[in-house]
Structure 1
Amino acid sequence: MRRNREPEAEKENSERWLLTYSDLITLLMIFFVVLYSMSKVDADRFQAIAESLNKALGGGIPAKMEMADSPVGPSIFTTGSPSSNSTVPGKDTDPDNTTNADSDNTNGENISTGQGNNEAETMSIEGIKAKLDKFAADNGIQTKLVSSMEERGLVVSIQETLLFESGSADINAKARDILRNISTVLASAPNQIRVEGHTDNVPIHTAQFPSNWELSVIRATNVVQILQNEGIRPSRLSAAGYGEYRPIALNDNAEGHGKNRRIDLIILRSKYDITEPTKTAAPTP
């Protein structure tokens, strides 16, 4: 006869309390993390850090940063004037949101004005280009006086043979007449003018020009002197020499050498004025 087996007694799990304990510890940790994140931030220290970062990353005058009165909201600090960017306690809010509307209108006007200025400047520079191209065509030098529009502004490239003898930085009489006519056109615009001297890669080693560096720089400064004497303000002018290291053609034939030996007049767009040194008052002794 078959005997029925008695069911085995269920083993008692003595470690179940660990699950409850671990859940409790996790909840406590989250609770304290939330409390820490809602704690009061040291406003003075945060302001100092924010200004230091703004100076280091932006390079300009740091914007005023103020701590919000309450941690509730999308951000713990605001930028700019509190009257325009945040609600001042004790004052009624604008139900029609007219302040924001006015701000949007102002920004729109500023953007439109900026675009208008850029368009006007582009038209002015293109007008200068048209006059110089006509002057070159009328005098049969359109292959030696070439203008082109670039991102930085108008580039007027004058080949060496129009201005100098080979290996010399002296400007001949015909070149002076050319620069005088160019000065008349450039005087009508307020833009900065950079005169850049360039040579080919043929080495030079004389008492006056130990290398192409000196030749390119002195040629550029001599052109600057002519432009200044013809009425262009010295504060608008600057000179630079690049030697043989900024070619626009290969230096493997006579044609390439002729294109690389040049003077470039750069009529810079006004947005590049911020990269130019500003005039400062002389220090008081």
Structure 2
Amino acid sequence: MPRRWTEKASHDNKERWLLTYSDLITLLMIFFVVMYSISSINAQKMAALASSLAQAFIGSPAPGLFEEGGLPSLVPGVAPAPGGQGTEGQGVEGTELARVKVELQQYIRQEGLEGQINLENEERGLVVSMADMILFPKGSAELTPEAQALLRRVGQALTRLPNYLRVEGHTDNLPIHTPLFPSNWELSTARATNVVKVLVNDAGISPGRLSATGYGEYRPVVPNDSEANMARNRRVDIVILKEAYNVTEPHH
């Protein structure tokens, strides 16, 4: 009897490795399932990121991505507009911005304003940058009659767009201290505000789409180390914000 019990116990001990082996196989299977699920999520996120970047830079999704449906934007600070239009809406918006850019380029060439009005596509939208010399007398925020006519023409090209418009005033770093403008802050803000008034009163743009901001000397495009560079920094920018930025603008 003792011998038979010993033989049975010895037989059981030899097969205990099967339990360890089955546990190991189960753990490996769980590990690979988890790894697969993680890799699938990352692939989707990377694809969504690529599509979002393509929309930000060219106004349409990257070819070949999400042909069967889109994913939410993953670009920080950029969210779909309220009641978003999706991929098709982004394409329509890009086409409209391109149309406005072409129309303004033709006007700039016709009037010989190359070098005084520049058009730049930025991540936030289309920027119409105008040198202060074609808008204001030196040290003043009063628009000249020629400047008012120019802004009316520019405003007409923007009227049909639904986008928000941000008018930004900039100066060089030369200090100013007058009763009207104690600093460049006041000068740049007054200039932006006067441009907004013309766009509203003369070009017929809805006031709810406009905002005025004065940056003073603190957003230069080039160092203020020469008169030519300082002239470039003295400017008023009209920024046609992409509809994705509606979430950062006050709206009803």
Q: Which runs of 5+ in 2 are unaligned?
A: 1-67, 73-84
Shift of 1:110: 8.5
Which letter does structure 1 place at the counterpart of 2:222? A
State the alpha-carbon separation in 1 of the partners of residues 145 and 122 from structure 2: 30
CA distance in 2, matches of 1:109, 1:165: 51
Work out the CA distance in 1 between the residues paired with 2:196 and 2:223.
Answer: 28
SS of aligned partner of 1:135: helix
Taking the aligned partners of 2:70 and 2:246, their CA distance within structure 1 comes to 23
- Is the 8 Å Cα contact of residues 70 and 87 (structure 2) preserved in structure 1? no
* Aligned match of 1:167: 139
2:178 corresponds to which letter in structure 1?
Answer: T
Distance across 1 between alignment mates of 2:166 and 2:98: 17
Describe the superposition over 1:26-45 as per-residue Cα deviations: whole angstroms up to 9, x where unpaired.
xxxxxxxxxxxxxxxxxxxx
Q: Which has the higher contact order (CA 8 A, sep 6+)?
A: 2
Counterpart among 97, 105, 109 of residue 137 in structure 1: 109
Indicate the residue corresponding to 1:258 in structure 2: 231
Change (3 A) 1:247 1:108: same
Q: Partner of 2:151 in structure 1?
A: 179
Any residues of structure 2 matched to 1:22-101 within 5 Å, and which? none
Match of 1:244 in 2: 217
Pick the aligned partner of 1:235 from 208, 212, 232.
208
The corresponding residue for 1:209 is 181
Q: How far apart in 2 are the matches of 1:141 and 1:130? A: 14
Return the letter of the residue paired with 1:237.
L
| Residue 195 of structure 1: aligned partner | 167
Q: TM-score, normalised by structure 1?
A: 0.59
1:278 CA displacement:
2.7
Q: Unpaired runs of 5+ in structure 1? A: 1-106, 280-285
Alignment partner of 1:224 is 2:196 = yes
Q: After TM superposition, which residue ranges in structure 1, 4 or more long, deviate above 2 angstroms? A: 107-111
Secondary structure of 1:108's partner? coil
C-alpha distance in 1 between matches for 2:70 and 2:164: 27
Q: SS of the counterpart of 1:277? A: coil
Provide the TM-score with structure 2 as the length reference.
0.66
| Deviation at residue 271 of structure 1 after TM alignment | 0.5
- The 5-angstrom pairing of residues 260-279 of structure 1 reads 260-279=233-252
Deviation of the 1:237 alpha carbon: 0.4
Matched, 1:108 2:77: no
Q: Name the residue aligned to 1:59.
A: none
Instruction: Give 2:79's aligned residue.
Output: none
